[in-house]
Amino acid sequence: MSVPSNGSRRFSHLVVTLSCVLVDFAQLLVLVFRSPRALAAENLFVRKRLALFQDRQVEPRRADDATRWIMARSEPVV
């Protein structure tokens, strides 16, 4: 059984990261066209979920490469 080379591991990691970024971008496009009521309902759900996590003292997961890349590249809303 052969061990994958460092180059092939890097390439597969790049493909996975780029696919995650593309999925996030597609989700952003979907969110842009949602109604304000739907966004308000989702915001309420996320706030309740955050409160539940804080109540249970759940540790957040580490951000993966795609999340770090999106957060670093996003420009602040003025």
Eight-class DSSP state of 35: -
> What tens digit of pLDDT does each residue of 17-70 get?
999 899 989 988 888 888 889 888 888 888 888 888 788 887 777 777 877 777
CA dist 38 and 44 (Å) reads 10
> Which tokens go with 56?
């249970």
Q: For the chain, give me the number of helices (H) and strands (E)?
A: 3, 0
What residue ranges do the domains of the chain occupy?
6-73
The pTM for the full model equals 0.48
**Are the C-beta atoms of 17 and 69 separated by less than 8 Å?**
yes
- Taking 3-state DSSP, the helix, strand and coil percentages for the chain, each rounded to the nearest 5, stand at 75, 0, 25
